[in-house]
A and B are shown apart, each in its own frame.
Chain A
Amino acid sequence: MKNFQFYLTTTEEVGFVEASNHSIVYANGLPQTKLQEIVMFETGELGVVLGLNRDQVEILLFSQYAVKAGTRITRTGMTQEMPVGFELLGQTINPFGHPLDIGKTIEQPKLARPIDIDPSGINTRKRITAPFETGVTMVDLLVPLGKGQRQLVIGDRKTGKTSFLYQTILKQAKLGTICIYAAIGKKKTDIKKVENFFKSAGISNNTVIVAAGSEDPAGVIYLTPYAAMTLAEYFRDEGHDVLVVMDDLFTHAKFYREIMLIGRRFPGRNAYPADIFYTHARLLERAGNFVLQNGSEHSITCLPVVESLEGDIAGFIQTNLMSMTDGHLYFDFDMFGRGRRPAINSFISVSRVGRQTQTPLRLSLHRELVSFLTLHQRLENFSHFSAEAGAGVKKTIEVADRIFAFFTQSATEVKDVDLQLIIFGLIWMEHWQDIPAMEQDIARINQVYSSSIEAQALVKEIINISKNLNELLLDIRKNQDRLLSVLGLQPEQGVSI
């Protein structure tokens, strides 16, 4: 950006600060300014025009330092823009495209795009048909997602939401998707953790962190998800599939409320401004599956995060976001306490468009699994009342225990869906009886599979010819010895299938 004097002599308009209230500044002058225009203070600070009154201009300040009354302001003639370009890959930037680390310099992209735009219309969109792999077995099998889907991640603090996001980004970045992590009002240490994780996982080149720390001005925090989405749109238009993680929109709503209350807007429910739904909806509407002008199809998948309080998912912001997304993953505090990793409650979680992207085999397995887990839950509740459960009940509970052990995975572990289908088939066929032995074998299978082309080819072959779960079980049986051998297991290690 140029300096104050440049804009002053160019636009020939000036205003003077009359009053200042935290991040909101009231000024006179600037007769031809317009809404959303960036203005510059003579002290170098920037702001954006938030409202126009008869005699005053209302400005949202992008600085944590208060401005003095009488300070001169001038127009810049620009709306809020975000520099966009491949130069930003691997960087941690603020919503203005500047590096978050003070003193660090990055190559500034030559292009810039407006941050706050209207979502593109229906004619540019296409039905979501491609599956989106998260690398988390439980999600990929029970609550599958599609590319271009907006899936809310909801749960109390410390329930493993961030781990799930890490896993998803790791999986997608490895698949070539560009991942943008928007850290909204996070602690600087948390932002650093994300940055370090990306570096240690070797996915920095496919990721961008757009961040505003908790000590940043409210205006900057408010802009963060919009900036992340703008960057995502650029990469989409350049022919890439993009994943945007917004961590989290509850904080965003709180900062937006703060700005609006200081700006004397009429408070609505829970003191949020009346347009809070609109604010989030028009942001999330910018995600989806799109057809570009050259006819190619590229998606922006969005994972907004929202924190629930004491397990209450019926809060105002939470229900707003549920209604504007294509489903949600609920991270259950009780399940987390019981040791489930990920602690996703599959009965409360929903995916409205993910199933349409699944193959017949995955759909068949999904149906079987959901029906089995429902039965298990019913039996588990029932077994609490009886001292002695029948053999059938015991067996169901044992199988369910194995399935939950199969679902368990560490925060940095991502899995291939096809292999998971095969492993599930083996569990379903009761290849393992003992859970510790099963876990050991699965760990070995995952290790062997990642390095064995033969194993990958065989797994793919079996998955491709199976149209439903029964066919899959038959195919596994048919290729039993070969399959177990290429996966690093000896047939005699488990019970014969």
Chain B
Amino acid sequence: MDLHTQIMERLRLKSELSQVQLCLDEFLASFFAPKEHSQMMMLFENLPNGLSQVFKSTLLKDPITPNNQSAIKKAGEKLQEKLATCKTIQITLAFQPNETAIELFSDWVKKNVDGGTLIDLQFDKTIVGGALIVSSGIYKDYSVRKALSNRFRLQKDEIAGLLS
């Protein structure tokens, strides 16, 4: 399994992807000059735990020498490019979902949409309930706010009569 697939398997949210991209940027910025094995290991250790494990298992198959450092850099850059084109689905909810809910959403998206798709979670309590979903430029409003406003529009006179 390649580096990109392994990372994507662990990612669920767009915010997580942003963190990975930030770490990756810092990691790649350190390749300005050839380094010793110990120094390289320090760079890997500085990465967050999960990321460090994936990087080590994929990129540290051979001992690091000043010659093969460019291969690691190239792999990192390739990963950076792939992550930049990652698809996202924006879901706006009326509540802050807990970890279980996030896990549930992510599993569903990966299973039913695309394994490489992440969720961009947004929070907006004005939608009251339900969700707003944006994917590939398509906007779908499944919110309670919309349902209520439709209801109010259609039954405006009736509701006004009840209130008066």
Contacts and interface: CB of A to CB of B under 8 A. Distances in A.
Contact of B138 (A9, A12, A28): A12
B32 interface: no
A368 to B, nearest CB: 70
B146 A9 contact: yes
Contacts of B138: 12-14, 31
A8 B139 contact: yes
- Counting from the closest, the 7 A-B pairs by CB-CB distance are A29-B137, A14-B139, A31-B137, A12-B139, A30-B137, A14-B134, A13-B137
A74 interface: yes
Contacts of B137: 13-15, 28-31
Interface in B64-81: none
7 contacts: A9-B139, A9-B146, A12-B139, A14-B134, A14-B137, A29-B136, A31-B137
Interface of A: 8-9, 11-15, 28-31, 74
Nearest to A33: B137
Contacts of A9: 139, 141, 146
Q: Is the interface of B mostly helix, strand, loop or mixed?
A: strand
B140 interface: yes
Contacts of B141: 9, 12
A11 B138 CA distance: 9
Interface of B: 134, 136-141, 146
Nearest to B140: A12
Contacts of B136: 29, 31
Nearest to B150: A9
Contacts of A31: 136-138
Nearest to B146: A9
Nearest to A27: B137
Contacts of A13: 137-139
Nearest to A31: B137
B87 to A, nearest CB: 11
Contacts of A11: 139
A304 B15 CA distance: 56
A9 B134 CA distance: 12
Contacts of A30: 137
Contacts of B140: 12
A29 B139 CA distance: 10
- Among B139, B140, B141, B146, chain A packs the most CB atoms within 10 A around the CB of B139
A393 B80 CA distance: 88
A31 B135 CA distance: 10
B21 to A, nearest CB: 16
Nearest to A74: B139
Contacts of B146: 9
B130 to A, nearest CB: 13
B152 to A, nearest CB: 14
A147 to B, nearest CB: 49
A11 B134 CA distance: 13
A28 B86 CA distance: 13
A29 B134 CA distance: 10
Nearest to A12: B139
A40 to B, nearest CB: 13
B44 to A, nearest CB: 33
A30 B136 CA distance: 8
Given A14-B134, A31-B136, 5 more contacts: A9-B139, A9-B141, A12-B140, A12-B141, A29-B137
A465 to B, nearest CB: 74
Nearest to A11: B139
Contacts of A29: 134, 136-137
A74 B134 CA distance: 12
A25 to B, nearest CB: 15
Contacts of A14: 134, 137-139
B90 to A, nearest CB: 9
Nearest to B136: A31
B63 to A, nearest CB: 41
A30 B139 CA distance: 9
